[in-house]
Structure 1
Amino acid sequence: MAVEVVMPKLGMSMKEGTVSVWNKKVGEAVDKGESIASINSEKIEMEIESPAEGTVLDIKVSEGEGVPPGTVICYIGEANEQIEKKKEKEEKQKTAGKRIKISPAARKIAEGANVDIKTLEGTGPGGRITKADVLKALPDQQKQQTNEAEDPPVSMMRKTIASRMTESLQNSAQLTLTMKADVTKLTDLQHQLNETAKTRYDTKLTITDFAARAATLSLLEHPGMNSMYQDSRVTVFEHVHLGIAAALDHGLAVPVVRHAERLPLIELAKKIKWYGQKAREGKLLHDEIEGSTFTITNLGAYGVEHFTPILNPPETGILGVGKMYEAPVYKEGELCKSAILPLSLTFDHRALDGAPAAAFLAAVKNYLEDPAAILL
């Protein structure tokens, strides 16, 4: 009997998932656990694995089409197996006489080509008209022109990032402060600890790990930065749920290390790497990207020094870490070569004034310049 593959529910708040790309076509064989499609929802993109060995019998959701969790997106079974259509017929009967269901992409094409959608038969879930249904109704010449003129669909992740960043800039009073930390001692300590960290914990300590620990300790000392401004009130958090921005090929994810204040440096480093790996593999859940109270983003690997991070709403602050570089510095009257780490702090001026924000950033700088304090 054919197996249904459904759109998964990746978290309590997920309302819709979109098929980004199908890795298999109808009639192709698949192994159990093999990736058959990529889906995305808000800030998450992940691979869908086949629940069984067999053949792709039918694909119900087109690329770029969004459907609610639990919707059947394809069937897998034995070659030439007939799929039970009873559920689909019942769904179409229920939707008879109601509003026409059509995907946004399909509606746009239909309107541009003056196609009466009432004349179309939807092949999507619940009789929904898909882009493929509209294109099928067009003459060949018009179909080719439509395909050539159509822009590629924007992923759900990109739409969410665009919406949240626009909301962030429009609904907060953002200001960015910059400082430079002399991390010469920190880099020496990092080299000393990494051999032990690799041997004992199978991990290594990065600048991001030290910055995350320094920020966490500084948030405990300056709790006004560990807050949010909503409904004309400032809510200060006792816990530190640290968001760590992770760049992906198709967007950006911010997994959250919960209760970072309870974690020593090595455990914090392991958590950051674990979530980063999950983000790159597309295995983050919605619950793992929600609830952060402060965020760190590092663009040092791209050669960027100071920059202006955009707040991750509704947080009050976000710390940007730039590329470390060497510079001559006078120390006790002598010119020395030092390692300099640029820091950029964007904060919401509605929740916090410039002086306490600067005090927080100075605390981060002091921890990075006195790394022994991070360990104790």
Structure 2
Amino acid sequence: MAVEVVMPKLGMSMKEGTVSVWNKQAGDPVKKGELIASINSEKIEMELESPADGTILDIVVPEGEGVPPGTVICYIGDANESISKIERNIETAQTEVAATATKVKESQPSVQTAAKEKIKISPVARKMAEAANLDIRTIQGTGPGGRITKEDVQKAIANSSSVESPSTKEPKPAETITHNIEPTKKVPVAGMRKIIAERMQGSLQNSAQLTLNMKVDVTDLIALQKQLTETAQTHYETKLTVTDFVARAVVLSLQQHKEMNSAYINDQIHLFDSIHLGMAVALDKGLVVPVIRNAENQSLIQLAQNIKSLAKRARQGQLSHEEMKGSTFTISNLGAYGIEHFTPILNPPEAGILGVGATYDTPVYIGDKLERRTILPLSLTFDHRVLDGAPAAAFLRTLKQYLEEPFTVLL
């Protein structure tokens, strides 16, 4: 009896999951507990293990396609087990649903529509064929039981393009832009990448964003950091970084400028007493923002420990959905990549996000004396609907004072 492998529910709010990568293909043997695929939903990604020993009989959901949790994505069974019955049951159900919908719209469905629903074809292949205006009855399926696959449709599209007369073919906008250059690879925008794309586009469209830049002299801060490194490592097993000092200084500054610790929601400005600090973490396939809750109650060393713990768990894919929501202000650090100033995009519905760049040394006049100093670039993006440039600049000035007098963040 074939075992159904379903799309798991990765969080209470999960509505759709996507197979990022299939590590096994139809016909491959698998052992129970062996990695067969990677799946993701919104900002959570995890590896999917085989629930049983056997052979991958059929992959129902291809890479990049989103499906609701509980949907069967593949079957595992004996190598000689027939999957025709499985496919027939799936397609019968699809046909019944389609036939019911057709009866509502038309009292007498056409023979052509009925025949179309009986043809074995994967959901992705059907969408591709419809987009290319191909008659699926003319496509020869090479999949199990004659099922039409994505590759079959791609081949049919290629054949159709080769016989079509250039003089009668109406160019499409995409073809005009690319000058008929075929891409080496097409990557579906799904899962984490899709959520990031939608949120970032929505952030720019639904808020009035403005970015202020400021340079901070962190020469004394770096000297203090080096002095405390051994003590922090010995007593707390934690390495203090410049980011930790910045995070603590941000918290102290937000306590003095509460309008920056706010959100624009339903034409209202929500001001928060508690500071839930978001720390952006870059992953191989996207970006997540774990949240340090009630950061105003934490010391420098506690903040440093939480920043490192959440970042580590984020890279291991172990964060829960609850740990990545509810932030009131976000910090994004691109200093490790050598970036100085950049324009961070608001993490909606927050009113502010701080971009931290790479430090660099430069000569600076201290009175009449020229000294070598270390400069830290900061970029503050804020929502102009919530506050104006002057109070945003005042927040940056306060932040600068804390960082240039680093002992104050320890008090």
The structure with higher relative contact order (CA 8 Å, sep 6+) is 1
Shift of 1:53: 4.5
Q: Find the partner of 1:261 among 296, 299, 307.
A: 296
Decide which moves more: 343-352 or 93-102: 93-102
Map 1:164-243 to 2 at 5 A: 164-243=199-278
Give 1:107's aligned residue.
127
Write the distance in 1 (CA, Å) between the matches of 2:92 and 2:235.
Answer: 59
Alignment-mate amino acid for residue 115 of structure 1: L
SS of aligned partner of 1:211? helix
Asked whether the equivalents of residues 173 and 350 of structure 1 are also in contact (C-alpha less than 8 Å), the reply is: yes
The residue type equivalent to 1:304 in the other structure is I
Partner amino acid for 1:4?
E
Question: Is the Cα contact below 8 Å between 2:129 and 2:135 reproduced in 1?
Answer: no
Provide the C-alpha distance between the structure 2 equivalents of 1:19 and 1:143, rounded to a whole number of angstroms.
Answer: 30
The residue number in structure 2 matching 1:290 is 325
Deviation at 1:68, TM superposition (A): 0.4
Tell me the amino acid that sits aligned with residue 278 of structure 1: R
Distance 2:235 2:311 in 1: 21
Equivalents in 2 of 1:104, 1:174: separation in Å?
Answer: 38
Hey, what's the Cα distance between the residues in 2 that align with 1:351 and 1:33?
51
Question: Contact 1:37/1:47 (CA < 8 Å) preserved in 2?
Answer: yes
More displaced 10-residue stretch of structure 1: 175-184 or 25-34: 25-34
1:3-32 CA distance string (max 9 Å, x none): 432212222222111112101122323344
Identify the residue that residue 11 of structure 1 maps to in structure 2: 11
Q: Which residue of structure 2 lines up, in the alignment, with residue 125 of structure 1?
A: none
Please report how far the alpha carbon of residue 258 of structure 1 lies from its aligned counterpart in structure 2 after TM superposition.
2.1
| Of 268-277 and 93-102, the range deviating more from structure 2 | 93-102
What's the offset of the Cα at 1:169? 1.4
Unaligned 5+ runs, structure 2: 103-116, 142-146, 164-181
Q: 2: CA distance between counterparts of 1:290 and 1:119?
A: 49
CA RMSD of aligned residues (A): 3.5
Aligned to 2:287: 252
Q: What pairs up with 1:58-207 in 2 under 5 angstroms?
A: 58-81=58-81, 85=86, 88=90, 91-92=93-94, 94-97=96-99, 98=101, 103=123, 106-112=126-132, 114-116=133-135, 131=150, 134=153, 138=156, 141=159, 151-207=186-242
Pair 1:3–1:214, CA change in 2 (3 A): farther
Q: Which amino acid aligns with 1:177?
A: L
Maintained 8 Å contact 1:183/1:340: yes
1:262: Cα distance to partner? 2.5
Q: Which runs of 5+ in 1 are unaligned?
A: 123-127
Residue matched to 2:46: 46
Structure 1 Cα separation of the partners of residues 126 and 212 of structure 2: 46
| Distance in structure 1 (CA, Å) of the matches to 2:306 and 2:77 | 39
Q: Distance in 2 between matches of 1:105 and 1:207?
A: 51
SS in 2 for 1:14: coil
Q: Structure 1 vs Structure 2: percent identity of aligned residues? A: 62
| Gap change, CA 1:132 and 1:268, over 3 Å in 2 | farther
Give 1:142 shift: 5.2
SS in 2 for 1:355: helix
Q: CA deviation at 1:351?
A: 0.2
Aligned equivalent of 1:342: 377
Q: Aligned-pair distance for 1:293? A: 1.1
Q: Give the Cα–Cα distance (whole angstroms) in 2 for the partners of residues 130 and 66 of structure 1.
A: 17
SS in 2 for 1:291: coil
1:18·1:156 contact (CA, 8 Å) conserved in 2?
A: yes
Greater mean alpha carbon deviation, residues 163-172 or residues 257-266 = 257-266
Contact 2:215 2:377 (8 Å CA) reproduced? yes
Structure 2 CA distance for aligned equivalents of residues 329 and 46 of structure 1: 49
Given that 1:311 and 1:346 are in contact with CA atoms closer than 8 Å, whether structure 2 keeps it comes out as yes
8 Å Cα contact 1:197/1:203 also seen in 2:
yes
**Higher CA-based Rg:** 2
When normalised by structure 2's length, the TM-score is 0.79
Aligned pair partner of 1:303 in 338, 346, 356: 338
Q: Deviations over 1:112-167 (max 9, x none)?
A: 1x324689999xxxxx997467558x48845999xx67833223322222222222
Which residue matches 1:319? Answer: 354
Query: Alpha carbons of 1:158 and 1:177: their partners in 2 closer, same or farther (altered >3 Å)?
Result: same
> Is the CA contact 1:57–1:80 (under 8 Å) kept in the aligned structure 2?
no
Is this contact kept in 2: 1:135–1:143, CA < 8 A?
Answer: no
1:362 maps to: 397
**Residue-pair matches, total:** 371
Query: Residue 190 of structure 2 aligns to which amino acid in structure 1?
Result: S
Deviation, structure 1 residue 88 = 4.0
Determine if contact 2:66/2:190 at 8 Å carries over to the other structure.
no
1:273 maps to a residue whose letter is: K
Give the secondary-structure state (helix, strand or coil) at the position aligned to 1:217: helix
SS in 2 for 1:196: helix
Tell me which amino acid in the other structure corresponds to 1:326.
Answer: D
Instruction: Give the aligned partner of residue 24 of structure 1.
Output: 24
> What is the TM-score normalised by the length of structure 1?
0.85
Please say if residues 361 and 375 of structure 2, whose CA atoms lie closer than 8 Å, have aligned partners that are also in contact: yes
- Measured in 1, the distance between the counterparts of 2:280 and 2:35 equals 26
- 1:228, distance to aligned residue in structure 2 (A): 0.9
Distance 2:125 2:286 in 1: 21
Q: Distance in 2 between matches of 1:185 and 1:35?
A: 49
